[in-house]
Amino acid sequence: MITGKTKLLGVIGYPIEHTLSPTMHNAAIAQMGLDYVYLPLPVPPERLDAALEGFAAIGVVGFSVTIPHKQAILPFLSEITPEAQAVGAVNTVWKTEAGWKGTNTDVAGFIAPLRAYDNWGDRAAVVLGNGGAARAVVAGLAQLGSPEIHVVGRTPEKLDAFAGSWKNSPLDVQLNTHDWDELPNLMADAKLLVNTTPVGMSPQVDRSPVEPELFDKLPPNSIAYDLIYTPNPTQFLKFAWERGATAIDGLEMLVRQGAIALEIWTGQEVPVDVMRQRLKQHLGLDR
């Protein structure tokens, strides 16, 4: 219920109509019995500055940040956590006495389902794609202590820029970049294979970024992790699972990055299971 004291949270993006965040956050807020509301906030790129001033004026507590603002918001923040600096993008912002502070909870969200597995110091990782999400994945793998990260990309200039961007990182990132032609040779070392490309999500639901027979090359006890959360499972995860790999989908990352943000804003323990269940319900995955 909205009261005269209800505190404001939200998500800025443009467009924002398809966001899943309000569903997930408001379910948790209700369960926690807090007087907060989480709203979709459409902010056109050229109005970001004005929006932030307005948020400060009306006492917005904090907000999530999505495309196209994840990097554009950096100059407007008074403080950026080392994690967000390493990724070069912010997805969570909150008000402090000094101004707006930003972090990136995608890194911890990505790592969360991997915490159940150990021996990260022995696991080479292969990351497919080198866009925004791949940055959080690489930062997460470095935090886990992955000894070797192989990033596979299709655009050489972007791949070079991606590799270069980690050179002065505070994180110890052991990164090699590769063309897709090299993937068959990388598979045998891929204790962890992560898909960060959109191949496999709508409208490409029948596609996998990796041919089924290549999964035969994976070493024993390997993990295939697809950042895509719908369809569930993706073809990529189906192929991997059929060939004996452990399959992890993107839903948990989505839930965990949101839960960490809500904990930052409210200072309270967050019911992760409620967020997960509401999201599954919303996506029709609870049947």
| Binding residues for ligand NAP (CB under 6 A) | 106, 109, 129-134, 153-155, 158, 196-199, 201, 227-229, 250, 253-254, 257
Q: Which of 147/198 has CB closer to ligand NAP?
A: 198
Q: Which of 15/131 has CB closer to ligand NAP?
A: 131
70 is catalytic: yes
CA distance 280 to 287: 9
Shortest reach from residue 63's CB to ligand NAP, in Å? 17
Residue 17 DSSP one-character state: T
Shortest reach from residue 126's CB to ligand NAP, in Å? 14
- Residues forming beta bridges with residue 194, ordered by sequence position: 127, 225
Which residue of this chain has its Cβ atom nearest to ligand NAP in the complex? 131
Residue 121 DSSP one-character state: G
Q: Quick check: bond before 231 cis, omega within 30?
A: yes
Q: Which of 198/212 has CB closer to ligand NAP?
A: 198
Residue 92 DSSP one-character state: E
The active-site residue, picked from 5, 7, 70, 238, is 70
CA distance 183 to 74: 34
Q: Which of 77/201 has CB closer to ligand NAP?
A: 201
Give whole-number Cα distances, 68 to 12, 13, 159, in Å: 9, 6, 21
Q: Which of 102/129 has CB closer to ligand NAP?
A: 129
Shortest reach from residue 172's CB to ligand NAP, in Å? 23
Shortest reach from residue 111's CB to ligand NAP, in Å? 12
| Contacts of range 73-77, beta carbons closer than 8 Å, 24 or more positions apart | 73/48, 73/102, 74/102, 76/48, 76/49, 76/52, 76/100, 77/101, 77/102
Taking each continuous run of H as one helix and of E as one strand, the counts in the chain are: 10, 12
Shortest reach from residue 6's CB to ligand NAP, in Å? 27
Active site residue ranges: 70
